[in-house]
A = this chain, B = another copy of it.
Amino acid sequence: MVRAIEWRESPTPHIRLIDQTALPAVETYLEITTVDALVDAVLSLAVRGAPALGATGALGVVVAMNQAAAEGWSDDELAAQILRIRDARPTAVNLAVGADRASAHVSEGVEAVLAAALELVAEDEAANRELSRLGADWILARTGKEKVRVVTHCNTGALATTAWGTAYGIIHELHERGALDYVYADETRPLLQGSRLTSWELTRDEIPHAIEVDGAASSTILRGLVDVAIIGADRIAANGDTANKIGSVALALACQRAGIPFVVAAPWTTVDLDTADGNDIVIEERPAEEVHSFGGAVVAPEGVTTFNPAFDVTPGDLVSAVVTEKGIAEPAASSSPEPLKDLISR
């Protein structure tokens, strides 16, 4: 299994990131030792995926402290630089959660911060394994099938997390149980995380699959070609409204019409109980170039305006299950206005 993000001590302490913008053609790694380089990696999506961004936020505080020591920053400067990391992408709550958790230990010194960050990384892998087991159980029980056909969107595998994956983790778990028939992976424009990354991971894991354009997902569902849709999340509100990669809500609408479950898989850190519903989720808009070009080829008239939101919000009433390592909430079937809050208060 590939590691998207790791802490390494030699030759100098650094974050080692696989450069996801170069996949699937080239497997190359970035060695991050400065805040500037880290923020660049986040903005270019060299590192992406909610859980991997959580690790990035936490380990980024260590990078900032090391740079502060080397360059003699004041406490205010260090705090400002940690804030730059924390807020590099507004929709991804995990980046802030990771940075906040590590920076709570700044007064204890860099070793304590590193320990807190590595603890978060270890917890993420454990959470992924647990939610994958829970999700596979739920899907097999709900569909009543011995083998399921799955559609997924974007990349939620080892590349998107610190290890194993979330939605992809459930797919992997189903495969290991012999309960997976086939996967349809949406290519996920504009940055093609599905065809570039998910298909790369599925191929490595020898999981039978096809890639399809995002526009095909709705009819793949309506034509009865799949039994369940499984996606990840960037932020989940208390009512189950789920921000995820642009295009996700199309799958949810089709699943509702087809009468098959729409499953959101994410570690508990992605749940934001302070956000009541999707109206309070800021939707990041990304640069026009992503839509103007395709794999380096210019595909639109020069200078044309683009609308390029990175995420959409799937209303909670379309979400059959939110699978976390703490348990499963069922917003679509719930009579509660805050099914996610109820999950932890059980």
Chain A residues engaging chain B, CB cutoff 8 angstroms? 24-25, 153, 184, 186-190, 192, 195-196, 199-200, 203, 209-220, 222, 245-250, 253-254, 257, 291-301, 304-309, 312-313, 315
Whether B199 contacts A215 by the Cβ 8 Å rule is no
Tell me the complex Cα distance, A88–B234, Å: 45
- Residues of chain B within 8 A of A294, CB atoms compared: 192, 294-295, 297, 299
Residues of B within 8 A of A304 (CB): 195, 199, 203, 209-211
Kindly list chain B residues whose C-beta atoms are within 8 Å of the C-beta of A313.
219, 222
- Among B190, B196, B216, B254, point to the contact of A253 (Cβ < 8 A): B254
Of all chain B residues, the one with the shortest Cβ separation from A304 is: B199
- Check A298–B219 contact: CB distance below 8 A: no
Given A294-B295, A295-B296; A301-B203 close (CB under 8 Å): yes
Residue of A25, A218, A312 with highest tally of chain B CB at under 10 A: A218
The CA-CA distance from A215 to B25 in the complex, in Å, is 24
Is the beta-carbon distance between A291 and B213 smaller than 8 angstroms? yes
Given A291-B213, A306-B211, are A300 and B218 also a contact pair (CB < 8 Å)? no
Are B199 and A301 neighbours in the complex by a CB distance under 8 Å? yes
With beta carbons under 8 angstroms apart, the residue of B209, B215, B292, B312 that contacts A246 is B215
A329 to B215, CA, bound (A): 26
Minimum CB distance partner of A190 in chain B: B213
A214 to B250, CA, bound (A): 10
A307→B212 contact, CB < 8 A: yes
Contacts of A249 in B (CB 8 A): 218-219, 222, 254
A297 to chain B: closest residue by CB: B295
A-B pairs with beta carbons under 8 Å apart, 24 shown = A184-B307, A187-B291, A188-B215, A189-B215, A203-B301, A209-B305, A210-B307, A211-B306, A211-B307, A212-B307, A213-B308, A214-B215, A214-B247, A215-B215, A215-B245, A215-B248, A217-B250, A218-B250, A218-B253, A219-B249, A222-B312, A294-B299, A295-B295, A295-B296
Complex alpha-carbon distance, A298 and B196, angstroms: 9
Q: Are B218 and A312 in contact (CB under 8 A)?
A: yes
Measured between alpha carbons, how far is A312 from B199 in the docked complex, in Å? 23
Q: Which residues of B contact A247 (CB under 8 A)?
A: 213-216, 218
Cα of A209 to Cα of B312 in the assembled complex, Å: 20
Known interface pairs A186-B215, A199-B301, A213-B308; 18 further A-B residue pairs with C-beta atoms within 8 A, sorted by A's residue number: A188-B215, A189-B214, A192-B294, A195-B304, A196-B300, A199-B300, A210-B306, A211-B307, A212-B291, A214-B214, A215-B312, A216-B312, A217-B250, A218-B247, A219-B246, A253-B257, A293-B295, A295-B298
